[in-house]
Amino acid sequence: MPTTDPFSVVVLAAGEGKRMRSNTPKVLHPVAGRSMLERVLTTAAALSPDAIYGVYGHAGEAVQEACAAFAVTWVNQAEQLGTGHAVAQALPAIPDNHQVIVLFGDVPLIEPATLTALMNEADGGVGVLTMQLETPTGYGRILRDTDGAVLGVVEEKDTTPSERQITEVNTGIMCLPAGHLRVWLQELDTHNAQGEYYLTDCIGKAHAQGVPVHVCACPDPWEVQGVNDRVQLAAVERACQRRQAQTLMRDHGLGLADPARFDLRGSLEVGRDCFIDVDVVIEGHVVLGDHVRIGAFSQIRDTHIAAGTEVLGHCEIEDTHIAEDCRVGPFARLRPGTTLEKGARVGNFVEVKQSAVGAGSKINHLSYIGDATLGEGVNIGAGTITCNYDGKHKHSTEIGDEVFIGSNSSLIAPVEIGKRATIGAGTSVRENVKANHLAVDDRRTRQIDGWRRPSERNDDRNPQGGR
């Protein structure tokens, strides 16, 4: 059962992250569309703590601004003097009867269930989240006595050759009683290889004072994988994507052509029997109804796609609502503010922006429709465009039900085309067209008799046609 003891969470996020070689603070680099720090704070909030404290240092203003949506008390670590020093900055505001959960802003995949298990294991004493690693390089080792009791943690740079053979390692994530922690932090020194105040030294002090120290094994090494450079960031990204793909397949029945070639950078709701092909990117909040299919290499952002609709490959769709049984693509772009009603068709190399496409209407290829309203059963011929921008203002085009627009037509907004009107191919519509009328340009095609193509002419200077 979850602990009922009062507790606070301290998130360490003060590091500059020089190895990222970036102007962006390390903890603000994204994993699956959200910054690492946002992910950690979301996990912390899911535990329902009494308070969350964020310890910032480098680029503190940017860090706080990026996480303004979270209920966090921010404290400044002006000098980065080690993990013990960082936690000490937050401790004055934490009551002695609290447990303190220490998290890291660059360890983004930790799960609430794991932290709950750690708190329960600590049971008012000290809890240390650990792992068993065949190759423990870089990690602090867990020291035990002959009876198995935890004596302390030794950081790798301070280990002896025999201690380096230990495969049980400290992940850095801990649960400690605030009253004791306050005393232990005051007793820390920098007599170590890195000249820092180690939070891990508190484990040895707890043992020496008879405070119970318990370990909790982490179920998944990726939960505690820290990020210090771009290589580790990419590895954590793929681990997160694998986790998301597996959850969607196992718990929601989503079909994925290749889970390793799927990217979710936000949230995705899926109905029954949906299928997503390879190299599709989902961003923001996307909802798929039953039997929706998404073709390869498509990008879908902040969009609702209703049941039975198929999006073919290489489409880009943003902030769009697509009704049932529509067909989009391939190579279509639906920009923000677009709605497609039931059974609409938007084909290859079509761009639609801020427009409503009525039920059963078709824009099958090579067209641009912007700031327009199309009724039901409209047919838009290839190469048609709405000329909606005059250089300063946007204007709308209104197209009634069952209108037929011939290929290569230009609809110069503002303009209205009445129900069942027909626009002849190549027509530039500059004024409203009445219902049931035919609109055509009155220009005639000029024909030149005896015309021969240049390649068929005899050049007097070169009978062979050369120059």
What amino acid positions are annotated as catalytic residues?
365
For residue 28, count other CB atoms closer than 10 A to its CB.
Answer: 20
Distance in Å from the first CA to the final CA of the chain: 92
Query: Which tokens go with 95?
Result: 């009551």
Compute the distance between CA of residue 416 and CA of residue 412 in angstroms, rounded to an integer: 10
Compute the distance between CA of residue 373 and CA of residue 248 in angstroms, rounded to an integer: 36
The CA-based angle 277-281-287, given to 5 degrees, is: 85
Torsion sign across C-alpha atoms 86, 89, 94, 96: positive
Tell me if 289 sits within 8 A of 306, measured CB to CB.
yes
Distance (Å) of CA 324 to CA 57, 267, 331: 51, 21, 20
Nearest to 421 by CA among 443, 442, 438: 438
Nearest to 173 by CA among 217, 143, 210: 217
Nearest to 378 by CA among 400, 402, 357: 402
| Percentage helix, strand, coil for the chain under 3-state DSSP, each rounded to 5 | 20, 30, 45
The CA-based angle 90-96-99, given to 5 degrees, is: 75
Compute the distance between CA of residue 457 and CA of residue 297 in angstroms, rounded to an integer: 48
220: amino acid identity, one letter: D
Q: Where are the alpha helices (DSSP H) in 60-154?
A: 60-66, 83-90, 112-122
Nearest to 216 by CA among 131, 123, 99, 137: 131
Within 8 A by CB and 6+ apart from 389, the residues are 370, 395
Compute the distance between CA of residue 188 and CA of residue 199 in angstroms, rounded to an integer: 8
Nearest to 361 by CA among 404, 396, 332: 404
